[in-house]
């Protein structure tokens, strides 16, 4: 009941441009540091290094919201390249996650593609990997098209995400055999024309596409905080003799830390998604919307200031 009020409220707040812009000047506030690594590349590298010490690997994301100009898209591209260089310099075990709208997808497709070529080219040279996060349905086909073009040049340096709530997910997974995919339930509000609305249908399809990609021998990243799904994946892989090196689990920074460490102790790879940057506000509000119980982060953060 409470979440029915809080969820839309946090989603609404996440889109508020005035608050998003204001937050850039505040530094991390309202408990955001529980789920955001900091505002600088050094903050991110420090956090990743601490995770590595515990046996966790990572993927970093330089946060960015509302990119509407070429200049902003190029600035964001430069941050991604600098982040890849910092990963290489510090020697941490970490790759890069990004969103195509941050690189100008809504400004001009060609600009976005050229920005991606520079970033993935850098990752290739440094022996690293770039994951294209999947955004809302309106950007889905464009994302898959850009991935296909990039893979012609850099087949093993880039992958993307498939969302189980979309009806098209199984077909996309089948088209992307051999590609390193992150599989998720899906985070956006999509209509019934394109996406399952019922949680059980989403969970069933999620498990089904995970099995499909694993059975095809493809590397699979299972990104979920859902222990039921994680347990089912572990059992499935044991039954089918799928090696632990063919898949990894992923969770967001600051969520279910004990479970993350437990999974590492069991010998699985656990990759933590580590966001950083001054544009933390929208990301933080979306996490509160996803799981309003996390509002305790915000309350604790407010009380500690």
201 binds ligand FDA, rule: CB under 6 A: no
Catalytic residue among 61, 106, 133, 279: 133
Q: Which stretch binds ligand FDA (CB under 6 A): 76-84, 112-120, 190-198, 247-255?
A: 247-255
Pair 115, 73: CB distance under 8 Å: yes
Active site residue 133: yes
How far is it, in rounded angstroms, from Cα 57 to Cα 50? 10
DSSP 103: G
Eight-state DSSP code of residue 135? -
Sequence-ordered alpha helix ranges (H) in 188-241: 199-215, 227-240
Residue from the set 252, 270, 285, 298 that interacts with ligand FDA by CB under 6 A: 252
- Between 19 and 187, name the residue whose CB sits nearer to ligand FDA: 187
Given the complex with ligand FDA, which of 232 and 256 has the nearer CB atom? 256
Q: Which is nearer to ligand FDA, 163 or 180 (CB)?
A: 163
Quote the least distance from Cβ 203 to ligand FDA, whole Å: 7
**Identified binder of ligand FDA from the candidate list 20, 205, 218, 250, rule CB under 6 A:** 250
Both tokens of residue 61? Answer: 């994301």
Closest separation between CB of residue 256 and ligand FDA, Å?
5
298 is a site residue for ligand FDA (CB under 6 A): no
User: Which range, of 76-84, 120-128, 220-228, 236-244, touches ligand FDA by CB under 6 A?
Assistant: 220-228
Encoding tokens for residue 120? 């993935």
Total residues at interface with ligand FDA (CB under 6 A): 21
Neighbours of 114 (CB within 10 A): 16
Q: Which residues contact 300 (CB under 8 A, 6 or more apart)?
A: 31, 34
133 contacts ligand FDA (rule: CB under 6 A): yes
Q: Which two tokens stand for residue 43?
A: 């903050």
| Residue appearing with tokens 């204001």 | 22
Strands (E), 36-157: 57-62, 94-98, 130-132
46 is catalytic: no
Which region, judged by CB under 6 A, interacts with ligand FDA, from 71-79, 83-91, 172-180, 224-232? 224-232
d(CA 102, CA 218): 28
Which member of 61, 106, 172, 182 is catalytic? 182
Applying CB under 6 A, does 225 fall inside the site for ligand FDA? Answer: yes
Q: Nearer Cβ to ligand FDA, position 26 or 66? A: 66
Residue 249 token pair: 């689990």
Task: Report, in Å, the least distance between residue 18 CB and ligand FDA.
Answer: 26
Nearest to 261 by CA among 251, 274, 246, 275: 251
**Cα(38)–Cα(46) distance, rounded to whole angstroms?**
9
CB 164 within 8 A of CB 202: yes
Residues found near ligand FDA in the complex (CB under 6 A): 133-134, 161, 163, 184-188, 223-226, 250-252, 255-256, 273, 290-291
Active site residue ranges: 133, 182
């Amino acid at each position: 009941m409470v979440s029915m009020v809080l969820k839309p409220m946090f989603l609404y707040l996440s889109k508020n441009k005035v608050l998003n812009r204001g937050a850039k000047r505040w530094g991390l506030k309202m408990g955001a540091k529980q789920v955001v690594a900091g505002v600088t590349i050094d903050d991110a590298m420090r956090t990743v290094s601490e995770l590595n010490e515990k046996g966790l690997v990572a993927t970093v994301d330089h946060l960015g919201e509302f990119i509407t100009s070429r200049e902003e898209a190029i600035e964001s591209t430069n941050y991604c390249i600098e982040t890849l260089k910092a990963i290489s310099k510090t020697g941490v075990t970490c790759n890069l996650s990004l969103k195509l709208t941050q690189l100008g997808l809504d400004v001009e497709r060609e600009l976005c593609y050229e920005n991606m070529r520079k970033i993935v080219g850098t990752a290739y040279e440094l022996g690293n990997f770039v994951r294209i996060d999947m955004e809302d349905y309106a950007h889905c086909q464009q994302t898959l098209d850009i991935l296909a073009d990039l893979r012609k040049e850099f087949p093993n340096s880039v992958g993307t995400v498939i969302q189980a709530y979309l009806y098209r997910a199984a077909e996309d997974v089948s088209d992307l055999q051999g590609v390193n995919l992150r599989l998720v339930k899906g985070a956006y509000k999509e209509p019934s024309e394109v996406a399952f609305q019922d949680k059980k249908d989403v969970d069933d399809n999620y498990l089904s596409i995970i099995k499909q990609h694993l059975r095809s021998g493809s590397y699979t990243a299972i990104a979920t905080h859902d222990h039921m799904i994680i347990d089912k994946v572990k059992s499935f892989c044991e039954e089918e003799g799928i090696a632990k090196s063919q898949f990894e689990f992923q969770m967001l920074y600051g969520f279910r830390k004990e479970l993350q460490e437990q999974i590492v102790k069991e010998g699985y790879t656990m990759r933590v998604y580590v966001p950083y940057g001054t544009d933390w506000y929208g990301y933080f509000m979306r996490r509160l919307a996803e799981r309003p119980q996390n509002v305790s982060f915000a309350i604790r953060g407010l009380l500690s200031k």
